[in-house]
Amino acid sequence: MDPLEDVLTLTAATGHLSTSMAAGGRWGLRFTPLDGVKFNAIRRGRCLLRVDGLADPLALTAGDCFLLTRPVPFELASDADAPVEPADPVFRAAIDRVARVGTGDEVFLIGGRFSFRGRARALLLDGLPPVIHIPGATPEADAVHWAIDRIDREVRRSQIGSTLVAEHLAVVMLIQVLRFHLATAAAPASGWLAGLTDPVVGPALRAMHDRPADRWTVEALASAAAVSRSTLAARFSALVGKGPLDYLTGWRIELAADRLRRGDGTLASIARDVGYGSESALSVAFKRVTGSSPTAYRGSPSI
């Protein structure tokens, strides 16, 4: 399986559509942080995006969309000096799933958020910038726009099953946004996602995800990547931030945590399936990585 598919499956990545927004005249809204990843697409008009912690606002126009990868407050406004009001009351007063602010509707946005379950969400989000902006005029973003167009169509038609279809399309959009970011990042990308597209690190990652229970060594992974042991070790650490075998340990623990959370199998069978020769070996590694024993983790109400 593709490692990205692995992680999206493990995190149960789910799209949730929110109320759309129409705005006009001079207006501004301040949004409280949401758990997960927030997205919006500007379907017509233009506005400014200000994100807490970032120095400069981002000018958005029709066709643009953005992803907020951190749960931080942000503002959308008609201009830099527009008065700002809390967004929550405006959205609570929405009619027919459209919130209205200002004096007109020359600006229209659709949006929502992505939720992720479990510890593996860090693999997906670590290394991403706080904001990913996809300009409407960028040819590389065609696949993102395709998904947004169809989400918008489903929202407007309100046919049977439209919400479910739109939320599945939102996950398609998320994958396309991640692809867009990796293909167009101005600075050299780093982190696990960047490793997937690297000619040295990518084959090693795919080998570990294909067969996590194998007795991998750095030498065997280097062979899978067709490079020397030292080349793989250096490149993997520089890009992913940890060595190949440390990554393998972390991935095995994520797989074990998912099985424990779902009550899928005995500790002995889970240990065997993720590459540990005994329950005790898994328990030692599990506690070292998570700070909790497998038994305590399985019984935790917060997982």
- Encode pLDDT of 235-258 as tens digits: 999 988 899 999 999 999 999 998
Which amino acid, one-letter code, is at 157? R
Among 258, 264, 270, which Cα is nearest to 11's?
A: 258
Considering only residues 205 and 125, tell me which one the structure prediction assigns the higher pLDDT. Answer: 205
Q: Judge if 45 and 161 occupy the same domain.
A: yes
Q: Judge if 101 and 180 occupy the same domain.
A: yes
pLDDT score for 189: 64
Other residues' Cβ atoms within 10 Å of the Cβ of residue 160: 8
Q: Judge if 180 and 197 occupy the same domain.
A: no
How far is the CA of 157 from the CAs of 1, 106, 152, 165, in angstroms?
35, 20, 9, 12
Give the C-alpha separation, 201 to 98, whole Å. 45
Q: Which of 184, 207, 237 is the last residue of a domain?
A: 184
Q: Judge if 291 and 206 occupy the same domain.
A: yes
Question: pLDDT per residue over 275-285, tens digit each?
Answer: 999 999 999 99
Q: Judge if 37 and 128 occupy the same domain.
A: yes
pLDDT score for 299: 72
R_g (Cα) of the chain, nearest Å: 22
Q: Judge if 209 and 288 occupy the same domain.
A: yes
Phi, psi (degrees; rounded to nearest 5) at 240: -90, -25
Domain count, the chain: 2
Q: Say yes or no to pLDDT of 193 above 90.
A: no
Please check whether residue 216 is in contact with residue 227, taking contact to mean a CB–CB distance below 8 angstroms.
Answer: no
Query: pLDDT-derived band of residue 233, with 50, 70 and 90 as boundaries?
Result: very high
Residue 294: partners with Cβ closer than 8 Å, 6 or more residues away: 256, 260, 267, 270, 282, 283, 286, 287
pLDDT, averaged across the chain? 89
Q: Judge if 41 and 130 occupy the same domain.
A: yes
pLDDT score for 115: 87
Give the C-alpha separation, 119 to 273, whole Å. 19
pLDDT score for 121: 78
Q: Judge if 156 and 119 occupy the same domain.
A: yes
Q: Judge if 109 and 130 occupy the same domain.
A: yes
Q: Say yes or no to pLDDT of 212 above 90.
A: yes
Other residues' Cβ atoms within 10 Å of the Cβ of residue 18: 18
Give the C-alpha separation, 47 to 43, whole Å. 11
Question: pLDDT per residue over 96-118, tens digit each?
Answer: 889 999 998 999 999 888 888 76
Q: What is the DSSP letter of 139?
A: G
Q: What is the layout of strands, in order, in the sheet containing 46-51?
A: 58-61, 46-51, 74-77, 28-31, 85-86
Which amino acid, one-letter code, is at 10? L
Q: Say yes or no to pLDDT of 49 above 70.
A: yes
Q: Judge if 11 and 153 occupy the same domain.
A: yes
Question: pLDDT per residue over 64-99, tens digit each?
Answer: 999 999 999 999 999 999 999 999 999 999 998 899
Considering only residues 50 and 11, tell me which one the structure prediction assigns the higher pLDDT. Answer: 50
How far is the CA of 257 from the CAs of 11, 221, 271, 295, in angstroms?
11, 24, 11, 10
Query: pLDDT-derived band of residue 1, with 50, 70 and 90 as boundaries?
Result: low
- The CATH number for 173's domain is 2.60.120
pLDDT score for 188: 56
Q: Which of 184, 218, 233 is the last residue of a domain?
A: 184
Give the C-alpha separation, 71 to 65, whole Å. 17
Give the C-alpha separation, 37 to 112, whole Å. 9
- The CATH number for 201's domain is 1.10.10.60
Give the C-alpha separation, 161 to 22, whole Å. 24
Helix/strand/coil percentages in the chain, nearest 5: 45, 20, 35
H helix or E strand, kind and range, residue 43: strand 37-44
Question: pLDDT per residue over 165-177, tens digit each?
Answer: 888 888 888 888 8
Q: Say yes or no to pLDDT of 218 above 80.
A: yes
How far is the CA of 73 from the CAs of 30, 277, 289, in angstroms?
7, 46, 31
* Proportion of the chain above pLDDT 70, given as a percent: 96
What is the residue range of 177's domain?
A: 3-184
Q: Judge if 143 and 59 occupy the same domain.
A: yes
Give the C-alpha separation, 175 to 5, whole Å. 10
CA 210, 212, 216, 221 torsion-angle sign: positive
